[in-house]
């Protein structure tokens, strides 16, 4: 579980640094930490949710599953949301400028 805590906390830190442009290399490390965290989460979920072997869950596993779900939600949904908002805003701005220039 220590590796998971290091990976998830690192991802949170790089996420904040990246989104607020506090460090120019944050995007690179955010991408790297997200990759390894996804791999780790995938292996752990396969291990604990294997239908062939039943395993007992501890309280720390429940917390890990919750934060893993939040991580998946943040990396897929929110990243896509922010990129779509940025693209749509840019498209609308360009269309308005095109209309104004005519």
- Residue pLDDT, tens place only, 7-39: 889 988 998 999 899 999 999 999 899 889 888
Q: Going by C-beta distance under 8 Å and a sequence separation of 6 or more, which residues neighbour residue 23?
A: 17
The listed range with the strongest mean pLDDT (28-32, 71-75, 89-93) is 28-32
The predicted structure's pLDDT at residue 29: 94
| CA gap 25, 85 in Å, rounded | 23
Only one residue has tokens 């904040």, namely: 16
Only one residue has tokens 């007992």, namely: 56
The predicted structure's pLDDT at residue 82: 78
Between helix 59-73 and helix 26-48 the angle, nearest 10°, is 130
Return the domain boundaries, the chain: 2-75
- Identify whether the C-beta of residue 14 lies closer than 8 Å to the C-beta of residue 33: yes
- Identify whether the C-beta of residue 35 lies closer than 8 Å to the C-beta of residue 72: no
- Residue pLDDT, tens place only, 41-71: 888 888 888 888 888 878 878 878 887 888 7
For the cut 60, the answer to whether the pLDDT of residue 1 exceeds it is no
3-state secondary structure of 24: coil
Greater confidence (34 vs 82) lies with: 34
Only one residue has tokens 């939040």, namely: 70
The predicted structure's pLDDT at residue 23: 93
């Amino acid at each position: 579980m220590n590796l998971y805590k290091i990976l998830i906390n690192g991802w949170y830190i790089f996420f904040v640094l990246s989104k607020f442009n506090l460090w120019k290399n944050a995007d690179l490390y955010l991408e790297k930490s997200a990759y390894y965290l996804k791999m780790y989460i995938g292996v752990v979920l396969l291990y604990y949710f294997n239908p062939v072997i039943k395993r007992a869950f501890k309280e720390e596993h429940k917390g890990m599953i919750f934060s893993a779900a939040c991580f998946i939600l943040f990396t897929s949904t929110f990243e896509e949301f922010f990129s779509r908002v940025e693209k749509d805003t840019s498209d609308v701005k360009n269309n308005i400028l095109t209309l104004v220039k005519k």
